[in-house]
Amino acid sequence: MLKDGEETAIELLDTLIGRDNSSQEASLDKTYKAFNMTSSPRGVCIIINNVNFKGMKPRKGSKVDAEALKKVFTWLDFTVECHEDLTKDQMKTIVQECSQRADGDCFVCCVLSHGEAKGVFGCDDEVLPIEDILTPFKGQALAGKPKLFFIQACRGKRFQNEVTIQADSFHEDDQGLELDANPLETISIPEDADFLVSMSTVNEHSAGRHPTEGSWFIQSLCKQLKEGILRGEAISSVLDHVNYDVCQKEAPIGGKRFKQVPIWSSTLRKRLVFPVPRSSDL
């Protein structure tokens, strides 16, 4: 449950406003078409990977993340499009163009960049608000289909405060961490429905990235996607595993133990379960 006042990438809906029509409600399956997807390819996955910047440090290790994402979503039968070192305006253009031609059963957008509370940086050091990434996909083309956004970027400069709990798992220390800072029947649904946004860290806090191994968040996401899908888990369970996994990690930075917890919010109306690909090999 999100805390009161917590800034989220999309506004969660308290109620779905629609007609009081039992036949419409009965026609809504409890699971997305993704539960038994027929489209091949499954849909489009775009990866925006900003590594080099005008005035900020390069994001070493981000290419490892981009490759891992490309591998797992290709395995899931998505058409993957990779874009590197885009300016703010170029990022905005890419998402707008993609929203007009994206089809299939599902859409995925991954953004890897430096960031702040408002949004993510282009390679020109200009900020693109998260809402500008989401808004183009509220149109009719993808209505009723799940739209997933995974964002690896800092949302501020604060570090997570450490608290002590009873240990129930073993974790290793990570060294050299860097920060990503500075058709027969129609029904109506809200345009904000069917979005899921998963971010590497909570608002106002930093997100870690290893210069050779990639980021905690993206590497865990790719690992948990494969393992969870092979177990038949819904995306919500997969992301719970990601949160748990990242929370176990820590690294020494500035004399303190750096900790991180991802956050995700959803207006998905049904369970989203990806079918197990024909090949279990990534």
pLDDT digits (tens, 9 = 90+) for 111-168: 999 998 889 999 999 999 999 999 999 877 788 889 999 999 887 555 444 444 333 3
Distance (Å, whole) CA 20 – CA 206: 45
Instruction: Calculate mean pLDDT across residues 220-239.
Output: 95
For residue 36, what is the DSSP state?
Answer: G
Report, as an integer, the average pLDDT of 243-272: 86
Which is it for the CA torsion 130, 136, 137, 138, positive or negative?
Answer: positive
DSSP state of 135: G
Q: What are phi and psi of 230, to 5 degrees?
A: -65, -25
CA distance 70 to 47: 8
State whether CATH 3.40.50.300 applies to domain 39-155+193-206. Answer: no
pLDDT digits (tens, 9 = 90+) for 7-29: 434 333 332 223 333 333 333 44
Which of these is catalytic: 106, 109, 123, 154?
Answer: 154
Please state the length of the chain. 282
| 79 SS3 class | strand
What is the mean predicted confidence (pLDDT) over 179-187?
50
Q: Rounded mean pLDDT of 216-237?
A: 95
| pTM recorded for the entire structure | 0.78
Residue 219 CB neighbours (<10 A) = 23
Rounded CA separation 260/243 (Å): 9
Which one is catalytic: 45, 98, 109, 114? Answer: 114
154 flagged as catalytic: yes
Token pair for 157: 């400069």
Measured from the Cβ of residue 156, the count of other Cβ atoms closer than 10 Å reads 16
Q: What per-residue confidence (pLDDT) applies to 257?
A: 80
Burial class (CB in 10 A: 0-12, 13-18, 19+), 175: exposed
Average pLDDT of the residues in 183-197: 66
Q: Please, what is the average pLDDT of the chain?
A: 78
Note if 222 is an active site residue. Answer: no
What is the predicted pLDDT for the residue at 13? 30
- Residue 254: pLDDT band (50, 70, 90) is confident
Coil vs helix vs strand at 163: coil
- Average pLDDT for 57-80: 95
